[in-house]
Amino acid sequence: MQGRVDRSEPGVLSVGTPVEVRTRYRGSWTEGFEVARTTEHGYWVRRASDRCLLPAPFHSDEIRHCR
């Protein structure tokens, strides 16, 4: 996939990983997302429910593995 960054260092989330994202309005964590691609600008995420790609990338501190 174009824009994908393949890295082997720990902590890097790979494409398809189920994740939680920090909401930009409240700062709380919400689940139901997965990594769509990774770039030098951050993680592109899609909703798992409808596979819709969110309109902006998330920085590494705004995304985490599902708990």
Gyration radius from the chain CA atoms: 11
Neighbours of 38 (CB within 10 A): 22
Q: What pLDDT digit, counting tens, does each position of 4-48 carry?
A: 444 434 468 999 999 999 998 899 999 999 999 999 889 999 999
Given a cut of 80, is residue 60 above it in pLDDT? yes
Provide φ and ψ at 22, rounded to 5°.
Answer: -85, 125
pLDDT of 67 reads 83
For residue 28, give every residue at least 6 positions away whose Cβ sits within 8 Å of its Cβ, in sequence order, or none.
22
User: Could you tell me which CATH number the domain at 18-65 has?
Assistant: 2.30.30.10
- pTM for this model (two decimals): 0.78
**Element spanning 32, H or E:** strand 29-39
